Amino acid sequence: MENSDPFLYNANDIDFMLLTHAHIDHSGRIPKLYNEGFRGKIYATKATCDLCQIMLPDSGHIQEVEIEWKNRKRKREGKEDLPPLYTAEDALKCMEIFEPVEYDSIIDIDDNISVRFNDAGHMLRFCNC
């Protein structure tokens, strides 16, 4: 239920996002953020981008199925329908702002911010060799 809570900030105020890994507790509300106007780049490794390409639309599908079930119950109670948190289609759209980056490379976000994605021992690492 907390997932549908409003963000405590304006999505347009965010310049960019560093997505350390694809786990849904980190990435699950990206489509909602996108729907609310966030259009900055989401920097993530290619493996994370690939996983999000699968997981986020699946999550959107789950949102759609769950709200359908809830809305049937709400209808019986005479309540109005609620929209899904986001749809599978919304989730696919937000993939346009993902920016795949190389592992272990320094990425210059701007003149003052540089980052490097490396092992943190928490997620899968894929090798392209």
Q: Which is nearer to Zn ion, 54 or 82 (CB)?
A: 54
Site string for Zn ion, 15-54 (x = CB under 5 A): --------x-------------------------------
Q: How far is the CB of 23 from Zn ion (least distance, A)?
A: 3
Question: The tokens 């106007």 sit on which residue?
Answer: 37
Structure tokens at 24: 């849904």
| Residue 89: how many other CB atoms lie within 10 Å | 12
- To Zn ion, the closest distance from the beta carbon of 122 in angstroms equals 5
Cβ contact 62:36 at 8 Å: no
CA dist., res. 21 & res. 43, Å (int): 10
Residue closer to Zn ion, measured from CB, 78 or 121: 121
Q: Which residue has the tokens 């329908």?
A: 81
Report in angstroms how near the CB of residue 19 gets to Zn ion at its nearest.
Answer: 11
The whole-angstrom separation of Cα 37 and Cα 97 is: 12
Contact flags string 53-92 toward Zn ion, x per CB under 5 A: ----------------------------------------
CA 17/CA 34 separation, integer angstroms: 12
Q: How many residues make contact with Zn ion (CB under 5 A)?
A: 1
Task: Summarize as ranges the residues that interact with Zn ion (CB under 5 A).
Answer: 23
